[in-house]
């Protein structure tokens, strides 16, 4: 008798604890829309592929958008909100330079509102678009996107400035920035592989090429052959009109060559170079460089983890009608 009371009590405790732990993980799920909007993921993919097919440079923009969304207030689409008369939003903060792809998100949202009004969140659309953008050139998805995110209503320039790591960051700063989002060093190295596609403006790294210590010198950790090449592209330290591919000669192909160029001292930002300055991080660089399959697999795992940062689920947040503005 006494025994079974104790057992009952324990079972209740276990159920309550499991419930709390479950809530902590935000309750994203694979195929959240399978009943409420079964065609949601197909529609999102076909719109993304249509636009990325028309302009392959957009794949990098969509991938970066998800990162910028998740690192500021969690993956809740705050990065999409426009500034208003009395608020400067994240997208108008300095680190927004060259952020793009908003018109594609709006096109996906419009298609989904037509098919299933008020069901699919902008935050899920950003997560799906990042996955589908990377998948376009490969022809297959590298990860399942968990869905069920809801949208926030607040977007602040100040938080983008505080929460997005600077490209001038050293390893300790990057590690701390990712740790504050519950992402480890392995995630940091693997997700930085996102720089395997896309471009950077000369002004972001121009000091490394033209005037590193104020003596008209270049960063000694930057490959001299690469410096000479970059000088043929960038018209000076503060050239904001020119972009270069972050992986020399590529920029459109998502693969693990990013890790090879890191080892050749061709990482474009100080934050890329930083990954080889820590023993464990450098080990992860070597592992990612050695095998494309391992990189693809780990990239998917870390993207799912990043995609769960600070999400709003259940009855938190809202479903925006238009991604760039709050519902009136």
Ligand X SMILES: *[C@@H]1O[C@H](CO)[C@@H](O)[C@H](O)[C@H]1NC(C)=O
Q: Give the Cα separation of 220 and 310 in Å (integer).
A: 39
Residue 64 binding: pick among ligand X, ligand HEM, none (C-beta 5-8 Å cut-off by kind) = ligand HEM
Output the residue with the shortest Cβ distance to ligand HEM: 198
Residue 30 binding: pick among ligand HEM, ligand X, none (C-beta 5-8 Å cut-off by kind) = none
For ligand X, the closer of residues 27 and 265 by Cβ is 265
Helices (H) then strands (E): counts for the chain: 14, 4
Q: Give the Cα separation of 295 and 288 in Å (integer).
A: 5
Per CB under 6 A, residues contacting ligand HEM are 60-61, 63-64, 67, 97-98, 165-167, 169, 174, 191-192, 194-195, 197-201, 204, 269, 271
Q: Which of the residues 66, 68, 136, 195 is marked catalytic?
A: 68
Residue choice 265, 282, 294, 301 for contact with ligand X (CB under 6 A):
265
For ligand HEM, the closer of residues 89 and 273 by Cβ is 273
Residue 324 binding: pick among ligand HEM, ligand X, none (C-beta 5-8 Å cut-off by kind) = ligand X
Token pair for 23: 């809530």
Residue 195 binding: pick among ligand HEM, ligand X, none (C-beta 5-8 Å cut-off by kind) = ligand HEM
For ligand HEM, the closer of residues 65 and 227 by Cβ is 65
Site string for ligand X, 230-249 (x = CB under 6 A): -------x-----------x
DSSP states of 57-118 as a string? THHHHHHHHHHHHHHTTSSSSGGGPPPBTTB--GGGSGGGTT---HHHHHHHHHHHHHHSTT
DSSP states of 165-229 as a string? PPTT--HHHHHHHHHTTT--HHHHHHHHGGGGB-EEEHHHHHHHHH-SSSSS---TTS-HHHHHH
Residue 205 binding: pick among ligand HEM, ligand X, none (C-beta 5-8 Å cut-off by kind) = none
Site string for ligand X, 203-222 (x = CB under 6 A): --------x--x-x------
DSSP 236: S
* φ, ψ of residue 200 in degrees (nearest 5): -130, 145
Residue choice 1, 20, 54, 85 for contact with ligand X (CB under 6 A):
85
Our answer to whether residue 68 is catalytic in this structure is yes
Token pair for 1: 């008798």
For ligand X, the closer of residues 18 and 97 by Cβ is 97
The residue among 50, 80, 69, 98 whose CA lies nearest residue 251 is 98
Give Cα 275 to chain centroid, integer Å: 17
Q: How far is the CB of 95 from ligand HEM (least distance, A)?
A: 7
The residue among 133, 132, 109 whose CA lies nearest residue 119 is 109
Token pair for 190: 């693997």
Q: How far is the CB of 54 from ligand X (least distance, A)?
A: 19
What is the contact surface with ligand X in residues (CB under 6 A)? 82, 85-86, 91-92, 96, 99-100, 211, 214, 216, 223, 225-226, 237, 249-250, 253, 255-257, 264-265, 322, 324-325
């Amino acid at each position: 008798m006494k025994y079974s009371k104790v057992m009952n009590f324990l079972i209740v405790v276990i159920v309550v604890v499991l419930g709390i732990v479950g809530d902590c993980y935000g309750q994203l799920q694979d195929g959240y829309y399978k009943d409420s909007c079964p065609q949601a993921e197909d529609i999102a993919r076909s719109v993304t592929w249509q636009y990325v097919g028309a302009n392959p440079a957009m794949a990098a923009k969509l991938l970066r958008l998800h990162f910028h969304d998740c690192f500021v207030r969690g993956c809740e689409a705050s990065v999409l909100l426009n500034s208003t008369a009395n608020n400067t939003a994240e997208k108008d903060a300095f680190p927004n330079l060259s952020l793009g792809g908003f018109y594609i998100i709006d096109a996906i949202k419009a298609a989904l509102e037509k098919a299933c009004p008020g069901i699919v969140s902008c935050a899920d659309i950003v997560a799906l678009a990042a996955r589908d953008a990377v998948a376009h050139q490969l022809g297959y998805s590298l990860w399942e996107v968990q869905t069920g995110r809801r949208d926030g209503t607040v977007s602040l320039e100040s938080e983008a400035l505080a929460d997005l790591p600077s490209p001038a960051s050293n390893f300790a700063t990057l590690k701390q920035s990712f740790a504050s989002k519950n992402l480890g060093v392995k995630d940091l190295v693997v997700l930085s592989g996102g720089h395997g596609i896309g471009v950077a403006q000369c002004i972001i790294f121009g000091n490394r090429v033209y005037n590193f210590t104020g003596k008209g010198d270049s960063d000694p950790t930057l490959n001299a052959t690469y410096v000479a090449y970059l000088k043929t592209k960038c018209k000076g330290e503060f050239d904001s009109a020119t972009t270069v591919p972050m992986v020399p000669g590529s920029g459109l192909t998502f693969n693990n060559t990013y890790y090879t160029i890191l080892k050749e001292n061709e990482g474009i930002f100080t934050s890329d170079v930083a990954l080889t300055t820590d023993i464990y991080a450098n080990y992860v660089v070597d592992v990612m460089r050695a095998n494309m399959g391992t990189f693809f697999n780990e990239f998917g795992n870390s993207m799912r983890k990043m995609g769960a940062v600070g999400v709003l689920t259940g009855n938190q947040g809202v479903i925006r009608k238009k991604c760039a503005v709050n519902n009136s």
